[in-house]
Amino acid sequence: MSTPSTASLYERLGGVYAIAAVVDAFIDRIMVNPKLNANPLVDEAHHRVPKAGFKYLVTEMVCMATGGPQRYTGKSMADSHRHLKITPAEWDVFAQDFKAVLDQFKVPEREQQELFELVGTTRGDIVMEEAPSARKAG
């Protein structure tokens, strides 16, 4: 058993069941967010993939990234997001939804900060830094 000071982020978050509950609420929230679905490519993806499978893969990923025993079996972040042409503004909306769900589940600030650091490492694979006008032309 780990002590609180040596416990992994996975352990401090409560393990797979607690992480799955947060992912469940988060995916439900982002799948219907009108600001995210204003991007027609995101909207199409949100309606193409079954929510249950999406939630499963995100749970795997979060568990693995936070030190749990699970192994992520999905596509790379670049392969699963490159075609969606996600803008920095859309990333910010995603982050706001993530923060709201973490607050809803009363995730402590230290753990929230660590989660945002982990999520931040994926930004370069997910966000297109081009101007919105370039996105429409492409």
How confident is the model at residue 90, as a pLDDT?
97
**Under-50 pLDDT residues of the chain:** 134-135, 137-138
How confident is the model at residue 138, as a pLDDT?
45
Quick: pLDDT tens for 78-92. 999 999 999 999 999
Contact between residue 85 and residue 138 where contact means Cβ atoms under 8 Å apart: yes
> Mind listing the domains of the chain with CATH numbers?
11-137 (1.10.490.10)
Indicate yes or no: pTM above 0.85: yes
How confident is the model at residue 129, as a pLDDT?
84
Taking alpha carbons only, the member of 2, 16, 13, 131 closest to residue 70 is: 16
Residue 45, classified by CB atoms within 10 Å of its CB into exposed (0-12), middle (13-18) or buried (19+), is middle
Question: SS3 letters for 66-134?
Answer: CCCCCCCCCCCHHHHHHHHCECHHHHHHHHHHHHHHHHHCCCCHHHHHHHHHHHHCCHHHHECCCCHHH
Name 86's bridge partners: 127
How confident is the model at residue 137, as a pLDDT?
45
How confident is the model at residue 19, as a pLDDT?
98
Take residue 81 and report the two structure tokens written for it.
Answer: 């997001």
